[in-house]
Amino acid sequence: MNSMDTNAAPQHNAYHFSFQKLAGGQPLPLDTYKGKVLIIVNTASKCGFTPQYAGLEKLYQQYKDRGLVILGVPSNDFGKQEPGTAEEIGEFCQVNYGVTFPMTQKEVVSGKQAHPFYLWAYKELGFGSAPKWNFHKYLINRKGELVTYFFSTTSPDSSRFIKAVERELEAS
């Protein structure tokens, strides 16, 4: 694993960061989701964990009216398993998994060149918290604070994951 640069500018919450929308590339500032519970997950279309898209979409549909937002961040960092263009990724997610949750442009999520959100998350949560593979998940509370992370092997329908999401949704 590449080491992460922990000298990223100090930030107090996730709302200081912005991505770009998958479709069209317009800015997608995370402060758009203030007051929501946010799951940020790095994704890939050609990975053994790719079927997690279905579980993430199910979770999104089940809890979006209670304030859950899932943000998919395509990345080609691990095994070159996201080679597609933005259009190809969007079509793949829609056709195969009916994904309706927001998706970003493809990003680097590991190493010193990682998107600033990922550098910040690593600094906040420490060693072991950086993505080691596709479908690594960060849980962010309604205040924009990182709560925890889940490895790729944690399925979106696992009781541990769902309980953590519900706990944050119930918190005021």
Q: Kindly list the catalytic residues.
A: 47
Q: Tell me the C-alpha distance between 11 and 8, whole Å.
A: 8
Q: Tell me the C-alpha distance between 115 and 136, whole Å.
A: 15
CB-CB contact of 17 with 114 (8 Å): no
Q: Tell me the C-alpha distance between 37 and 106, whole Å.
A: 22
* Residue with token string 């979770």: 59
The torsion angle over the Cα atoms of residues 53, 96, 109 and 61, rounded to 10 degrees, is -40
Pair type for strands 68-74 and 37-43: parallel
Please choose, from the candidates 96, 131, 158, the residue with its C-alpha nearest in 3D space to the C-alpha of residue 1: 131
Q: Tell me the C-alpha distance between 56 and 53, whole Å.
A: 5
Length of the chain: 172
